[in-house]
């Protein structure tokens, strides 16, 4: 477990008077919503006076969350899920305690780095990064225990059973059962402990195999996923179903992001079971070291959109702090940045300085030929976000792997 925190006294001293005034105003607006919810409760027996369902759910959500945190020895308080920290009526800001499941993996380590290096002025945030050593999230009891211990206000849910194409093809049942257990335990524990917001991580492999391109957030459930990884894909789809159900029944604003193919430092570089890019990096490293040809599985023609883990981490933080929809959002480079596996392999060869022969083994499966995703929704929110150029990100990743070869997961 890795913890990034600030003391409460430091938190309360942060910010100037204008900032505190703004926080008071925001807190008062949320307190007004709470009061409106009480008005609705007194009038709900009058059928002629019905509120729109979405307003009811939002008001109930605010009341429930506010009540949860008002129980923490505070005379009056409100919660704004879009604001870092918990806003109290006296203008002070309590800590936003973020629990990251899967915190030792590829994306978790990237978030940890971005929080540490790029989150100045966010002293009100406390971050807890969990690994599988801290709790077995397939156990409901252990999951509740870790929530009881840390009492998070927000959760980034990354923990999952993951693997590359060939491992998915061998173990579809395991991917289904293990991920369903993990996801249900985390979301239910979050609900039981009054977590304000959960951001879960999905994947573009959840989309239908037979579809029109580019795919977008509205198309998740429009047909069966590719047969190679249907267990993992259906388990991840169920997170979206659960998020909608928690909102409908309890007003919880739990959401999910859908990144395209992620790569970067701290990935799993296992050649047999890892994803395409870390597998290529490891095989190229060994081919260069041993003076052998590089063998790439498949034809190299399959297309993918790759996103650097540090870029994804920055977007995760934006979703946690600012994105206020239950509907999921695709986090990806644009359609114009979709690359072939051959192009990616060439970039790895260049980054590692490999000068031997490259052979494509067409007896191995390509998997789904393309999964072109639209990032139009993301661009509506963040039109100026700049992604790290692919070759630069590949070079940084290869350099990290070489420098950390002995300790890297492989």
Tokens read off for 291: 């003076």
Residue ranges in 44-123 assigned as alpha helix (H)? 53-70, 106-118
Tokens read off for 297: 């599985």
Q: Cα 404–281–332 angle (5° rounding)? A: 100
Q: Are strands 96-101 and 154-157 parallel, antiparallel or unpaired?
A: parallel
CA-to-CA distance for 345 and 301, rounded, in angstroms? 11
Tokens read off for 120: 């100045």
Residue in 40, 61, 213, 232 annotated catalytic: 232
Secondary structure (3-state) at 186: helix
400 CB burial (10 A radius; 0-12, 13-18, 19+): middle
List Cβ neighbours of 342 (8 Å cut-off, separation of 6 or more).
296, 300, 301, 360
* H or E element at residue 231: helix 230-250
CA-to-CA distance for 20 and 90, rounded, in angstroms? 9
- Is 232 a residue of the active site? yes
Place of tokens 């007003």: 251
Place of tokens 């971005």: 114
Q: Cα 196–200–203 angle (5° rounding)? A: 160
CA-to-CA distance for 155 and 107, rounded, in angstroms? 14
3-state secondary structure 21-60: HHHHHHHHHHHHHHHHHHHHHHHCCCCCCCCCHHHHHHHH
Nearest to 127 by CA among 138, 119, 135: 119
Secondary structure (3-state) at 386: coil
Q: Which residues are catalytic?
A: 232
């Amino acid at each position: 477990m890795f913890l990034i925190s600030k003391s409460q006294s430091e938190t309360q001293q942060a910010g100037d008077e204008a900032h505190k005034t703004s926080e008071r105003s925001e807190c008062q607006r949320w307190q007004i919503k709470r009061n409106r919810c009480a008005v609705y409760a007194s009038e709900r027996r009058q059928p002629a006076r019905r509120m729109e369902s979405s307003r009811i759910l939002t008001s109930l959500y605010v009341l429930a969350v506010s009540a949860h945190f008002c129980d923490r020895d505070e005379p009056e308080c409100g919660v704004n899920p879009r604001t870092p920290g918990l806003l109290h009526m006296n203008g002070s800001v309590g800590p936003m305690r973020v629990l990251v499941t899967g915190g030792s993996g590829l994306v978790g380590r990237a978030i940890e780095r971005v929080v540490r290096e790029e989150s100045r002025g966010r002293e009100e945030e406390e971050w807890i990064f969990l690994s599988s050593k801290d709790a077995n999230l397939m156990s409901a009891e252990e999951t509740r225990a870790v929530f009881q211990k840390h009492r998070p206000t927000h959760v980034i849910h990354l923990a999952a059973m993951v693997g590359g194409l060939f491992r998915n093809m061998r173990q579809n049942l395991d991917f289904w059962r293990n991920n369903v257990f993990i996801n249900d335990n985390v979301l239910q524990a979050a609900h039981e402990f009054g977590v304000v917001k959960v951001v879960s991580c999905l994947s573009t492999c959840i989309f239908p195999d037979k579809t029109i391109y580019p795919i977008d957030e509205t198309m998740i459930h429009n047909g069966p996923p590719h047969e190679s990884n249907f267990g993992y894909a259906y388990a991840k789809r169920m997170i979206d179903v659960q998020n909608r159900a928690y909102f409908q029944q309890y007003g919880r604003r739990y959401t999910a992001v859908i990144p395209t193919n992620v790569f970067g430092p701290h990935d799993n570089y296992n050649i047999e079971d890892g994803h395409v890019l870390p597998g290529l990096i490891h095989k190229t490293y060994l081919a260069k070291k041993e003076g052998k040809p590089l063998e790439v599985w498949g034809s190299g023609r399959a297309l993918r959109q790759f996103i650097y883990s540090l870029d994804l981490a920055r977007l995760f933080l934006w979703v946690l702090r600012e994105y206020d929809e239950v509907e999921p959002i695709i986090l990806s480079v644009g359609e114009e940045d979709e690359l072939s596996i051959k192009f990616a392999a060439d970039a790895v060869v260049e980054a590692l300085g490999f000068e031997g022969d490259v052979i494509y083994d067409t007896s191995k499966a390509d998997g789904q030929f393309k999964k072109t995703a639209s990032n139009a929704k993301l661009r509506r929110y963040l039109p100026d976000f700049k992604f790290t150029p692919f070759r630069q990100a590949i070079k940084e990743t290869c350099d990290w792997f070489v420098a950390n070869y002995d300790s890297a997961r492989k």
